[in-house]
Structure 1
């Protein structure tokens, strides 16, 4: 669909121009921001859980304090409006009803349109403030661990895993130092529950250069149950995952890797005349003259006849 000249927004100030450039499609995407929204009614558990997740997601998080009458599974237009307004591709919506108590709805957008949405019910919750000890640094990149067969076999759990990876992965980095690994998020899928746990990584002395690693639970600790899902089509998912041609690695000819990761190369050369190759001058490699060969053969024949 081609936009008309009336639909194109033209900035009037330099600040507006920078804001529009920030929203434009890029080869290397910005870190995904998450939008936190509240329904008309929320419980204390939902409010505190959203605050803790906001703390884990900072600084790439935007929180709206005003309550909104939104029903995500019936009408997504309000969520898409807030997503475009805040330039956020992820959202967390909290509400609480008699039919679905302590409810969190997680979702992600593609081009400001709904891609995936998951409704999770909180069955057990311990807040971040209830755990004593040192917390992870604000904005640090967490190490995500997924356990459970469902994350590899069931479609709903596979897509939920991808959404959680998008939610917590943070900005893309090329290198990370050992001291920077200070936050671990462990998510386990059981029969009917999803266990969400957060740990602080402690590096202690071991007597060697490599420190001894210990995990200390720092919260929040949440048990979820998967209630409802709304998944985008495979065509839309394929479109959202499309990688620009510039970022695709160039194929190297005649280069391969073995099972241990070693790089192997194959070199093609033209056929060579081996008789003309200069070799090391050794007695054993010298060519014998035809006369010498004939005399040797005659001696061998004479010795064989006398015997």
Structure 2
């Protein structure tokens, strides 16, 4: 089981908080972090979730005050790291032998925690978006790049969320500029709704009108020479110089770990079919795994009829 606390910040999505739904289904303990005026709605719809009520509301500053409140809450409870998740994600998936298959979130969190804690200098780790991971993505993670929406943050970092826009990018740049590492996992990914496709969140406060341009320009002003504004995906977009390649701090292994003793660990999972599998390649994968009599990492049912489970 994941050992670090999981927080889901949410506003205006009590009717359909996707992240809360899949975490409950995966039986992952977590806390919803909400504003006072919506607390009862969240409690009523998600009675099995812990609900933390923020001491402020409608500040017009996006999610940044809530994110910093979460950080201090995790610190006050004595945790070394904490997870902070956006509220518009459908599930966690694993890239397994060239297939993206829905995976139980608790195992995904546990694997990333174990990896992260083996190194002295990882400030932020997290999962990539499914839309950016293909069946042929060649590496299990990218080093020293942005981490968005699903972050595992080291609590003793001196940095904090700041400003009003592009807070994920800004925090990662702060951490990298201070010679810490970030790790973005492709081996595990989140299936996140595209920005502005789900009502609620920061759509009203930040994204309306020329909000996209304001967001990109604000980051460019904070990071001159590192960030510029370009047009990507048919909209204004911030672009980090050299695609983040200027940050080259290497991972530092802990010296109190017997690295030679580490062995592959599937965390007690099995790849199983929960419905009739239509895809020939998936049927072949299931047969291959059964023939090897080995486990894969866990998950719940997927829309293609296969799953990873403990």
Q: Which has the larger radius of gyration?
A: 1
Greater relative contact order, per chain length (Cα 8 Å cut-off, separation 6+): 2
Same fold judged by TM-score > 0.5? no
Q: TM-score, normalised by structure 2?
A: 0.27
Q: TM-score, normalised by structure 1?
A: 0.27
